[in-house]
Amino acid sequence: GAGEAPSWVVDALRAAGCVFAEDEAAILFEAASDADELVTLLRRRVDGSPLEHIVGWAGFDGLRVAVEPGVFVPRRRSELLVREAESLLRGFSAPIVVDLCCGSGGIGLAIATRVPGVELHAADLDPRAVGCARRNLAPAGGTVYQGDLFDPLPATLRDRVQVLVANAPYVPTAAIALLPPEARDHEPIGSLDGGPDGTDVLRRLIAGSPSRLARNGTVLVEVGESQIPRITAALESAGLDASVVTDDEMGAIVARGRQSRG
């Protein structure tokens, strides 16, 4: 409905430990068609379901990205990936962008929205994520493939990708137990678990990047602070020029690998 959420909704969310109780109450109130549905939605939230799964969308880079239960919710810090991609893509006509481990497709969608005319490809291992990404990327003309990293991508993309972007799983296995319940209990473990030090998937992705990147193409990956040395080393051993950009306000770190071969 329109208007302001009743105070009892805000109070219930605050009691459940929701930091942004007023904002969440407004979103639940808007999503509910009547008071009964509002109570149902509120109960799911208080029980720990992610707000985004309950209402069916996540706010990301000013967009509403469709998400559903069992699909990774795009995080605000990943907007740094989008900003970096946008700055690399300026001045190209119809550049090719690939979003790996795409989840809902939010990162690819945000890039395509900021840089009209990109040719967008995305892939994820999880069939639920792929279904979700297809809905989100259809308006942008994006193509979504199901499979492990580069495996499902068409061979025609070799040596042609301008920006390869990924928010791959990078949580160390032992740290998953420490995540908030919203992530730990409601998002696919495969979208979080990056192996013992969190870099397993990232290192495979980096190793496979050079054969896909165009001359001066760039791979952009989100990383944790402790992983910077390993990821920088992986980029350099793949023959890429490595650099790191951080945004303290967003708590975001992006490692960049630029293809410099002739």
Report pLDDT digits (tens) over 218-257: 999 999 999 999 999 999 999 999 999 999 999 999 999 9
The predicted model scores a pTM of: 0.90
Neighbour order of strands in the sheet with 119-124: 143-146, 119-124, 96-100, 161-166, 213-222, 252-259, 240-247
CA angle 213, 233, 218 (to 5 degrees): 20
Residue pLDDT, tens place only, 162-217: 999 999 876 777 777 777 777 666 666 677 777 878 778 999 999 999 999 999 99
When the pLDDT of each residue in the chain is averaged and rounded to a whole number, the result is: 91
Give the model's pLDDT for residue 102: 96
